[in-house]
Structure 1
Amino acid sequence: MPYPTPDDIAKAAPLIAPHIRATPILSVPPEALGLPVPITLKLEHTQVTGSFKVRGAFFNMLTRTVPAAGVVAASGGNHGAAVAHAATKLGHKSRIYVPRAIAKEEKLRRMRAFGGEVVLTDGSVAECMAEYAAYAEDSGALSVHPYDSVPTLTGQGSVAREIEAQTGGIDTIFVSTGGGGLIGGVASYFRDRVKIVSVETEATNTLERSLREGPDIDVSASGVAAGSLGGPRLGIDSFEAIRAHVDKAILVDDAATYAAAQRLWDGTRLVGEPGSAVALAALTSGAYTPAPDERICVLLCGGNAEPDWFTHP
């Protein structure tokens, strides 16, 4: 099977546990967010580097040989921060390639603060990925792919296992999708035991378009969530898990994303980055109507953004 099993993920969890946070959940009553049902928020944006990505970064480096050249990654920010942090903590060098067109200063600061060497690239996200891959081949550095590898999916899937243990069980989970590493890991763990809903913006519709057209696409991401969810295509292993186990693909617009972030702040005093707000926007925009007794979890995937980003659309 091209993607991890639930047992693979269960075995990975204790290996990475000393290096990450077991992030909390928050039960939110209907009136707080103006929804018809209560929901559970998984506060993964409070992870040690501000996003779920640190799970996969550590699992890659703890289970693969890291050469003297260190590690290399491509990222809009969250994956780069995670790789830089994990590499520094484990005593390795790291180089992160970032597309200049979607680079956000807050995320660049995070990557550098965690010890990564940041290389800004011109052109598209796909061209950035090509530059990073070429450096990995030329230098011998360990490539830590943001979404297209089984170790990455295995590490990211640990968040689903954590949610299940914390909640005692859910019916539906809402996950923002970029390259598919997070939702691929979640799908690999939950399989068909939980309804898995992907949420993207109309301008970052990698998964929704892949399900319609097949995986051989090149999405030019734009809009408010491009820095979080701007994958040009889904990973091969991610796509297999998604095609097998993701139940629904929802698109929201940028206005709904800003509104969801504002409602999250007003109702809970939590701030996430645009990628986190996208998942919530499926509910706050009315794109998804839950059943009266549906046990819903929204995964707030990251928090690496200026804290007032949603106040000036």
Structure 2
Amino acid sequence: MATRKVKRLYRSDVRQARRLLRGHTRKTPVFHTDILGPRGPVPVTLKLEYLQHGGTFKVRGCLNALLQTRGDKTGVVLASAGNAGIAAALASALRGMSCTVVVPESASHTKVAAMWSHGAEVLWHGTTYAEAHKYARQLAAERGAMPLHAYDLPEIVTGAGVVGLEIEEQVRGRPPVLVAVGGGGLVAGVAVALGLRGRVIGVEPEGAPTLHAALAAGHPVDVDVSSVASDALGANRIGDIAMEVAQRYGVRSLLVSDDAIVMAREYLWREFRIVVEPAGATAVAAIQSGAYVPAPGERPVIVLCGANTDLATL
């Protein structure tokens, strides 16, 4: 069970988020193709979510949260290792609000630059996301600002879930959907959107197994984070909302190595000229490494969730 009681989210909540976000976010396309697995070509559908505003799915959740803001809050404060900060900065700018992002000292310079480009104030604090998050909560209280959470907030999860509704419209049948997992906002949102008829599979780096460890323990637990994808999948604990959703809808977790993630990222560039960050290639790594083997006739959907990366690393 989750460590705190959380509001149960349903498909109707995701549908409400889609209504609010209409005209503010992109309906990202899908691409039907084959990718190379251990036993040859594997038919897949790539959901090109890296084409979203800000290069990340997280814009959906941040905008959903800010569009529902009531009261006199004029500023936003959150902690982020990267993409949530970029999304919050972009969403805040669109809503005419100030944005402060607290980042750990290990934050990607490329992602910090993107936050700045959207007008955010960036503060460095601590060496981990958890330390940055604790300081961000304190800062929000001191400033009377709206605190945002990178992944464990109902509006963040339901906004991300619109990805699932789009996949349902764009792809025939009900194929499995492979989603990278950090704190769990995206995998939870997609699972809620697709409901009991969906099959959602989380894919995690071996060095950041937040969902995998939580499912094994039966509740969220802290994990050590050390992965090439930790600038986006750097949460050290799965969100309580994601945990509840995963248990309710039977979300599985698969682990992939950093080497497999790097190979998948290089493969996407070499074969399709698709540029994603390591987190964006993590779900692809499950197919290429053989961690997930589709059933005969099955064409899984793979969400390419983010593209905020240093091009020099390709």
- TM tier, shorter chain? over 0.9
- Alpha carbons of 1:35 and 1:189: their partners in 2 closer, same or farther (altered >3 Å)? farther
Q: Secondary structure at 2:197's aligned position in 1? A: coil
> Equivalents in 2 of 1:281, 1:51: separation in Å?
19
Q: Determine whether 1:225 maps to 2:229.
A: yes
In the TM superposition, what are the counterparts of 1:15-54 in structure 2 within 5 Å? 15-30=20-35, 35-54=40-59
1:52-80 residue CA offsets vs partner (Å, 9 max, x unmatched): 00000000000122634511111111110
Q: Secondary structure at 1:152's aligned position in 2? A: helix
Q: Which letter does structure 2 place at the counterpart of 1:55?
A: R
Q: CA deviation at 1:249?
A: 0.8
Aligned to 2:175: 171
Aligned to 1:298: 302
> Equivalents in 2 of 1:175, 1:190: separation in Å?
13
Q: Determine whether 1:207 maps to 2:174.
A: no
Aligned to 1:195: 199
Q: Determine whether 1:240 maps to 2:244.
A: yes
More divergent stretch after superposition (197-206 vs 65-74): 65-74
Aligned to 2:116: 112
Aligned to 2:3: none
Q: Secondary structure at 1:298's aligned position in 2? A: strand
Q: Which letter does structure 2 place at the counterpart of 1:40?
A: T
Specify which of 77, 89, 92 is matched with residue 87 of structure 1: 92
Q: CA deviation at 1:236?
A: 1.4
Q: Give the count of matched residue pairs.
A: 309
Aligned to 2:128: 124
Aligned to 2:76: 71
- Alpha carbons of 1:242 and 1:262: their partners in 2 closer, same or farther (altered >3 Å)? same
Superposed CA RMSD in Å reads 1.8
Specify which of 5, 13, 17 is matched with residue 12 of structure 1: 17
- Alpha carbons of 1:267 and 1:170: their partners in 2 closer, same or farther (altered >3 Å)? farther
> Equivalents in 1 of 2:82, 2:164: separation in Å?
22
Q: Which letter does structure 1 place at the counterpart of 2:167?
A: I
Native 8 Å contact 2:38 2:290 kept in 1:
no
Aligned to 2:158: 154
Q: CA deviation at 1:35?
A: 4.7
Q: Which letter does structure 2 place at the counterpart of 1:49?
A: G
TM, length-normalised to structure 1: 0.94
Native 8 Å contact 1:215 1:233 kept in 2:
no
In the TM superposition, what are the counterparts of 1:94-109 in structure 2 within 5 Å? 94-101=99-106, 103-109=107-113
Specify which of 268, 275, 281 is matched with residue 264 of structure 1: 268
Aligned to 1:61: 66
- Alpha carbons of 1:168 and 1:308: their partners in 2 closer, same or farther (altered >3 Å)? farther
More divergent stretch after superposition (27-36 vs 15-24): 27-36
Native 8 Å contact 1:30 1:37 kept in 2:
yes
Structure 1: 5+ residue stretches without partners? none
Q: Determine whether 1:140 maps to 2:144.
A: yes
1:128-173 residue CA offsets vs partner (Å, 9 max, x unmatched): 1100111122222111111111111110101100111112333100
Specify which of 256, 259, 274 is matched with residue 255 of structure 1: 259
More divergent stretch after superposition (63-72 vs 49-58): 63-72
